[in-house]
Amino acid sequence: MACGPGIVACALSPHVASVRGIDIVPAMLDEARRRQVKLGVSNVAWELGDASRLPCPAESYRLVTTRYSFHHLLDPLATLREMARVCQKGGRVAVIDVAPAEDRRDAYDRAEKIRDPSHARALTERELAALFAAAGLEIERVARYELEMELEAALQASFPEPGGADRLRALYRADVGVDALGVGARIDGDEIRFAYPCIILVGRKPG
């Protein structure tokens, strides 16, 4: 779900019989197809579709997953319920996304909306766990990791509004040694480095 340029779908392909990548942006699916050709992957198919109304019959897949998409969603519960719907009984639903600390989430969101105006709202671990329960999924595994980034590289891969890049640079510099954003901003030579706090939740569909 929300496969983007197909990184996760292609990475999963050697381990499963087949993979289906769904995204709402045609350009992302074009990029995914180019990646598939480059890697020589044959068991992946791509489809245009809305995450809140997945174009799949109920109980179609053993694993339904998404990475780095939930913070863009206006209604993440609707999407998670759709992921659960298309998952087979006894199958798994996995969500990987940023999950800031509760006392830093508001500051984190403000900074991310400068970097990427498509950012809606990051969810904390507690909020994600509540969504899994509401979607009828039993959490089997929770793991955390940090995604190391360099600020200029992050900006080059983003689309901030005019003046946004300079505002974000100033915000990150001011946060060094403070960590109000919850990303551990630090100076490394001429670079500003930080780490996104990420989480993996794997839930099982009962039955």
Express as a percent the part of the chain with pLDDT over 70: 100
Residue 129 confidence (pLDDT): 98
118 closest CA partner among 157, 164, 72, 74 = 72
Structure tokens at 90: 């006894």
How many Å apart are CA 104 and CA 146, to the nearest integer?
16
Q: Which residues of the chain have pLDDT under 50?
A: none
Residue 107 confidence (pLDDT): 98
Residue 38 confidence (pLDDT): 97
Residue 142 confidence (pLDDT): 98
Q: Strand pairing partners for 63?
A: 92
| CATH architecture, range 50-204 | 3-Layer(aba) Sandwich (3.40)
Residue 195 confidence (pLDDT): 98
Give phi and psi for 53, each to the nearest 5.
-145, 75
Under 8 Å between Cβ of 112 and 66: no
Pairing of strands 186-188, 191-204: antiparallel
Structure tokens at 4: 């983007």
Residue 167 confidence (pLDDT): 96
Tens of pLDDT, residues 131-171: 999 999 999 999 999 999 999 999 998 989 999 999 999 99
Under 8 Å between Cβ of 112 and 183: no
64 closest CA partner among 203, 206, 207 = 203
Domain residue ranges in the chain:
50-204
Residue 202 confidence (pLDDT): 98
How many Å apart are CA 176 and CA 79, to the nearest integer?
36
Residue 97 confidence (pLDDT): 98
